Structure 1
Amino acid sequence: MTINIRLFARLAAFVSTVALAGPVLAEPARHVIIIGVDGLSTNGVKTAAMPVLQDMMNKGSYSLHARGVLPTTSSANWASILNGAGPEQHGVTKNEWQVGDFNFPTSVTGSGGFFPSLFQIVSDQHPDWEVGSIYQWGGFSNLYDHRFVDYDVNTKDEDETARTAADYIRQKRPNLLFVHLDHVDHVGHHDGHGTTEYYDAVAKADRLIGVIRQATVDAGIAKDTVIIVTSDHGGVSKGHGGETLAELEIPWIAYGPSINAGRKLDQPINTFDTPATVAHLLDVKIPYAWLGRPVALALKGAPEPEQMYKTSSFYTSPVIEPINEGNAPAGGLFIDKTAQMTIRNPNPAGEVRFTIDNTAPTASSALYTKPINITQSTIVRATLFVDGKAASVPTTAYFRLVNTKSGESKGVSYRVYPLAEGTARLPDFSRIKPITNGHSYELSIDGLTLPQSANVAVVFEGYLDIQTAGNYTFILASDDGSKLYIDDKTVVDNDGDHGVISASGSIDLTSGKHKIRVEWFNGGGGAWLGAYYQGQDLPRQFIDANRLSPAK
């Protein structure tokens, strides 16, 4: 007797599924294509020339305010798109993840130690269907059991990816296909998000999406195909992995005969809702272990879900100028001079109200009408108000004014160290020699001229003058790792290879001067360091340069 090994493996690994209550489709799709563009940000879609995607948005349903999962790393998010749940369920928390090598096991097990993926549930329930996976980034292949994919190709570049996908669509007319484009993320790391090069890469992604879409027409399946275009994360400066909205927010576009036309979606969408939507479109049962829900508002014929609570504002937050660069917040450091602040409303409606005392703006706060001179360090917060109600996420700016004319030396000293390629944690600095040194007014790499941008470390040392005794919390936000010491005691440990994330620690301090030391390193890609503190009567702010003095 002849045994179909692939079919037998699928049936043997079948995971019991429970159909989730959801919207009723007018008619299931016969083909679904997911096009994932690594590093494609909402800003990229808004800014770059994207005629193909714009056409799909006009004729389909979309949101530019969908969200990925934390951490905003590629593997954690692509795994969520495949697995219908977040990292706390499927276990993928870092790009180095491989099955069997994890911090904690999956909450349920599909096949081969993997969480049950979209590939598996489709193949389990329809073993005769054609399933494909074509991906530019090799790390994508670590995230699923390849036994559930008929056509599995790791391509060399984005052009080959699109060409291979188009050929496969014309030849095999797959029921499910995942296409992964990686070039936008490469440019984001090399040249930076928001650069001309980045927008050019996004525009190229649009052209490649057009190639894939045209293949469905050539194959004669366009009228039965839904295409979903989405991303894993955005970015800030040359990195991602942090906890900013620019990194977390992603585009989500659905296009095809089963999709409502011209609908701007105002429901919350998470990246793990994508596979649930695909499963629903294909009329495949969704596992109970999945947390994702079909994006109901996008589905033609589906009743509109009751939304007791609306999504966060789709109005853009006010822009405080001087604007932030990269991860640095708006405002800035000003030495022996005042600053001029302007606030810009990028929306066609509303008015901006602001505060300069760190409080949240209200409808009775000062109305912004003209530029304002800032004469002392302050924290500015600004919010858009429409019809008398707050309509945006608040914007915060930190203005730091330093007076060096008093004769007292301000700031800290620093030393720069070279690191071995591939360094993933702070080194033992007693074993290496610095290659340069200097003076900085703040515990930050902003404004420093480093001899190299990657495989480099900086150690800052000085004294912090505490005016009022009490308990103080120190916060380090860094990409990559960092540590903060007070009087030789470790207070904050934010070490490791990661995007901009924050870590904090507290310590009781007497009034007077205390030794302060901050260590930071960058292995590659994005880089930033911000050092904050707060106390009982001291709001969270950059560690005050006026209270810092160099080590002797």
Structure 2
Amino acid sequence: MSVHIALLSTLLLVLTTGCNKASFDGTLNSKTAKTKPKTLTIVPAPTVVVPAPVVPAQSSDVQGTPGTIQAKKLNIIVTAPSNMIKAGGEKIQATAKFKDSSDVPVVIWTIKGPAGVTDIGSIDQNGMVTSPASCTSEIPVTIVATLKSDPTIAASTIIHVLPIEQIFASCTRGSETFPILAQVYQIPPTLKRIPNYSNLAEATKLTTVCMDKYAVEPRNFGDGFPDVPSVYEYFSLQTSTTLIVNTAGTYTFQLNSDDGSCLNIDGREVLNNDGEHQAYGTDPNDSLTVGRKEVTITLGKGDHPLNLNYFQGPKYRIALVLKWKKPGSSTFEYVPREAFK
């Protein structure tokens, strides 16, 4: 009896479990059939713009720590129209400018000379240099421009002050202070006239010098030339410059020389004073009858090429003087340095 009851209980349990599972599966299938699948919409993520990192500006032409800008160092330059000037209160204009700018720098002008030289001339606030009254030998003078806004910035140039008595200056071309270019030739002692410069038998090139004007009054000459001091006789000068005429009119030129000379203006000969002779002068070594000639010509306003050739025979006396009487004047005066370029 007990066995039958146990078997019956087991059978009922199995039947109950099966019915419940079928009911669950049916319910699940019914819900699945009735429910539509949901559609999943994918929304793109918003675009985020990340700014590039800021890199500090960096100068390419200056050296320094990367990421910094340095101020460019200012530089000035000092120039003069010539590196030579004669003593005697002659003037020359110095100028200063920025190296890399068109701006005009405001500077303080000063000059310096060798130790022990008391008179080196002067310079004004505009850079105008005035040479000393005199000197016995060449003096180097340094012209200095100092930037007023920054005294650590300065520049300089050197000019050489020559004695008044010095006739020739060493050069390769004419300048504002020495505008006459002279080619120096050695000539044979037998030649009694200006040589043919293209004939090597008559003229041998020695050096080049410059002159400020033709104002060599009759004097003894034994100094020679800057590069050839031993030459003081039997030489010739082939000189060239440009004559500046500010007023058109009639001009009278006077040429005095020891020995011969010849003046050409605008490519034509206007005065021939050639030959071996003394200069005109009152000194016992000079003459009251020969050595000086004059000519009157008409010149237009403007520039006129001028050539003056000269030769010196035996030592020691020399002279080479060119004067003019300008329109309306009754007196002769040296053709000044300012009339040449």
User: Normalising TM by the smaller chain, what interval?
Assistant: 0.3 to 0.5
TM, length-normalised to structure 1:
0.26
Question: Which structure shows the bigger proportion of residues in strand conformation?
Answer: 2
Which structure is larger by alpha-carbon Rg, 1 or 2? 2
Higher RCO (C-alpha under 8 Å, 6+ residues apart): 1
